[in-house]
Chains A and B, each alone.
Chain A
Amino acid sequence: MAEQNKTPTTGHEWDGITELNTPLPKWWLYVFWATILWAIGYWVVYPAWPSLSGYTKGVIGYSSRADYAGEAAAAAQARRVWTDRIDALSVDAVVADSELLQYAAAGGRSAFAENCAPCHGAGGQGAPGYPILADDDWLWGGTAADIYQTVQYGVRSDHGSARLSEMPKFGADGLLDEAAIADAAEYVLSLSNRSEDAAAAGRGQTIYAENCAACHGEAGRGMKEVGAPSLADDIWLYGGERSDIVAQITNPRQGVMPAWSGRLGDTGIKMVSIYVHSLGGGQ
């Protein structure tokens, strides 16, 4: 009984300091050894150690990269249920099917972020020289079919079916002199009620009717067949200040959009078109 109150030491002594020994149970030690054995087994079975130029592959040939490839293939296979249905329909028919519309808009959203957002901005918010896709102002038409065609063949791209148009270089080619261009610009400003010089605007109207109305329309509302923008709203591709308008009439910039057929599959183009159509301005 008296012994129970005395605790044995480990037997060492350092500078008069001893260490009490309260023994661990042996099973604790055995479990520790078991974990070491388990680790060695793990090294044999799974990829474990780096070698000079690679790594130990493990006897069952497991690879997390191969696992991922399998999962990606399975996901692609699952997606085919939807993409097959989309492939079989035209763009307008997909828009009419609400279930497919949801799927296409979601798929188009991710394709847009990767392919289109670098120029057209996140969410289609646009930038100077790159049209805003989120509004209801369209250069080449805002129906799903129009957008589909634009994305497929591009604008002034290398593709044989690209949308083409060319605004004459009124200033650079000497078609109009500076004063005429200034008056025309004033008239254009007046179309969106921003003109300060009524007289110049009046002169500009005549110049407009002779030179610009053929493409931009009698009232300046634009013409989608030739991609001529509406001049009567407050949405400007190259800037809406007087100097911007003068610069565009003098030496017009002709934007280029690549053709995506060949880069994205037909399904991808359909989905991205539907997404753009659903941004709010689709017609």
Chain B
Amino acid sequence: MMARRLMHVLALLLALCSAPAMAHKPSDSYLTLKVSGQQVDGQWDIALRDLDMAIGLDADGNGELTWNEVRERHGAIAAYALARLKLAQPDGSACPLVIAAQMLDDHSDGAYAVLKLRARCPADVVTLDVDYTLLFDIDPQHKGLLRLEHGALTSTAIFAPDSAQQSLHVAGASRWRQFVDYVKHGVWHIWIGFDHILFLLSLLLPAVLVRRDGAWHGGAGLRPAVIDVLKIVTAFTLAHSITLSLATLGVLALPSRVVESTIAASVALAALNNIWPLFQRRRAVAAFGFGLIHGFGFASVLLDLGLPASSLLLSLVGFNAGVELGQLGIVALFLPLAFLARNTAFYRKAVLLGGSALILVIALVWLAERAFNLKILS
């Protein structure tokens, strides 16, 4: 008995010594909830390892968990998870959760079950009461990491056994903060929306040049170049602001496939115009015409972010301002460089013709992908 006791003593002692090396990842789940009016959409990532400990997934117990074994247990996983997450409104009325789909995802520490959640609350969500009790009975060191999204606003919360119930204010942030968030989204979306950038660049590339005798030459002064750029950018801005507003407010709607395909076509035409002049003198007009379609594209991003009814105008103005700021950034980068390089053959041949040809190819691929729903490049 004494010897056994002593062994225990030593085992614990060793455990103490190895503590510093124990920087391995503990159990966490990742919960995202996206609130929009009465609707709550979510995603919940729970480690397969934890689910196996809780309800057993590895049917044959060989330690190699296959997708079939996970799929077999989808019903049990759903029942287990849903019993441990409750959403409600402050008056106590529940927002019943359902699981729309189950998938997998790989995190840095292993594979996770992904539960796509959906809930509908009795009234528009202002405050959401979340009651989270996943795994706390098996592993009290488990934590639930929540990301709560509402429009462009994101807040986070951590659930642990001593903070299992939390009341989260959804519409709590200041209007200024909301505005700034939407401006940021606007800037970001023009920067990552390559089709818009390429369209704009295609129209701007010839701005520092003049076309004489069927060939390009460097333009004389900065003034005409600036005026040309100003005209194009203003026309594009005016046009996409109009349709962005109308589409966001629900006045106008176009099928997204038509919008996306036309955007691709507009990029192709703008690029082609630099190689084979189609509307050389009227690039501002083209910017306006196609700008109308690009506005629909921006609108779908904004609608995807979700718009709080209470601050619709604020978000719309913020997002649009962001798009314009992002666009100004591109112009501010482009114009000085292009102007300095305008008299070089490199600019006229490689940048204008070569660049336009490359843009044309990319745009045609986009067009094929979007119009025929193909996947050429991934």
A and B interact physically:
no
Residues of B within 8 A of A (CB): none
